[in-house]
Structure 1
């Protein structure tokens, strides 16, 4: 199994970065995982800004040569892992900009003329590892599960990825946030995950 980890946080001294390290270390211990690639969007200098004009049209985004290496990473991956904080009830703008550009028509899905498109990334799985300052129940109780709906239905389901696992860790800025136990949970999960 090939694992692509997409990390989205500007600070390598953050708790999100500690979760990234646990994903990588756990994956390295897993005999089912043959290779791991990490894409650090901030360190990469990824440009999340969409630009459409006479030279650069939205319908051609699936073939944009500037994004070719990122498309190849997604093609290569059997499992896509996203590690990010939840800010204002959703992933960071940097990650959303990556999603806007990478999960494009002609690459991640194809319109069939009906209500739903054909997902072109079938057979892959995804894991979202996210942290937040607020309590773990906040997205469900206050935001009607908007984060999971966005990621599972509006993104992954749309492109054909049906198997999606979430780790939403709340109270992460609290001294009682059980950070070490949650980091260990992530390492255990990735050291044993089968698909």
Structure 2
């Protein structure tokens, strides 16, 4: 199994970066993974701004030469892992801009005249590892699971992903946030998962 970890946090001294390190460590110790690749969107200086104009047409997005390397990374991966903070109840603009630009018609999905398009990224699975300052129940009780609905249904399932697993950690700026236990939980998952 080939793993692509997409990291979307600007600070390499953050808790998100610690989660990234535990994901990589666990995956590299797991014989189920033959390849582990990390795409750090901020370190890459990825431009999340979607542009359409006379030179860049929407219908040509799937073949944008600027994004070819990223398309190859996504194609190679069996499992994509997204590591990001939740800001204002959703992933950061950097990650959403990456998805805007990468999940283009002709690459990630194809219109087929039905209610939902044909997802072209079938067979892939995803894991979303996210952190937030507020309590974990905030997303469920106040925002009605908007984050999970966005990531699972509106984005990943739309383009053909199968299973989407979430590690959604709240109270991460609190001294009682059990950060070490949560880091260990993520490590164990990636150390032992077979699917």
Matched with 2:157 is: 157
Q: What does the per-residue CA deviation read over 1:34-63, in whole Å, with 9 as the maximum and x for residues that have no partner?
A: 000000000000000111101101111000
- Looking at structure 2, the residues matched to 144 and 60 of structure 1 have their Cα atoms a distance apart, in angstroms, of 36
For residue 43 of structure 2, give the secondary structure of its aligned residue in structure 1. helix
For residue 81 of structure 2, give the secondary structure of its aligned residue in structure 1. strand
2:22 is the alignment partner of 1:15: no
Pairwise CA distance, 1:114: 1.2
Pairwise CA distance, 1:136: 0.5
For residue 162 of structure 1, give the secondary structure of its aligned residue in structure 2. coil
Q: TM-score, with normalisation over the residues of structure 2?
A: 0.99
2:126 is the alignment partner of 1:126: yes
- Looking at structure 2, the residues matched to 147 and 59 of structure 1 have their Cα atoms a distance apart, in angstroms, of 28
For residue 175 of structure 1, give the secondary structure of its aligned residue in structure 2. coil
User: Which aligned pairs between 1:108-119 and structure 2 lie closer than 5 A?
Assistant: 108-119=108-119
Pairwise CA distance, 1:166: 0.2
For residue 122 of structure 1, give the secondary structure of its aligned residue in structure 2. coil
Pairwise CA distance, 1:131: 0.2
- Looking at structure 2, the residues matched to 141 and 57 of structure 1 have their Cα atoms a distance apart, in angstroms, of 41
- Looking at structure 1, the residues matched to 123 and 48 of structure 2 have their Cα atoms a distance apart, in angstroms, of 27
For residue 101 of structure 2, give the secondary structure of its aligned residue in structure 1. helix
- Looking at structure 2, the residues matched to 95 and 57 of structure 1 have their Cα atoms a distance apart, in angstroms, of 22
- Looking at structure 1, the residues matched to 50 and 122 of structure 2 have their Cα atoms a distance apart, in angstroms, of 26
Matched with 1:62 is: 62
Residue segments in structure 2 that go unaligned for 5+ positions in a row: none
2:84 is the alignment partner of 1:91: no
- Looking at structure 1, the residues matched to 59 and 133 of structure 2 have their Cα atoms a distance apart, in angstroms, of 38
User: Which aligned pairs between 1:61-80 and structure 2 lie closer than 5 A?
Assistant: 61-80=61-80
Residue segments in structure 1 that go unaligned for 5+ positions in a row: none
For residue 188 of structure 1, give the secondary structure of its aligned residue in structure 2. helix
- Looking at structure 2, the residues matched to 59 and 183 of structure 1 have their Cα atoms a distance apart, in angstroms, of 42
Number of residues of Structure 1 aligned to a counterpart in Structure 2: 195
Q: What does the per-residue CA deviation read over 1:73-115, in whole Å, with 9 as the maximum and x for residues that have no partner?
A: 0000000000000000000000000000001100000000111
CA RMSD of aligned residues (A): 0.4
- Looking at structure 2, the residues matched to 144 and 131 of structure 1 have their Cα atoms a distance apart, in angstroms, of 17
Matched with 1:41 is: 41
- Looking at structure 2, the residues matched to 23 and 75 of structure 1 have their Cα atoms a distance apart, in angstroms, of 20
Pairwise CA distance, 1:162: 1.8
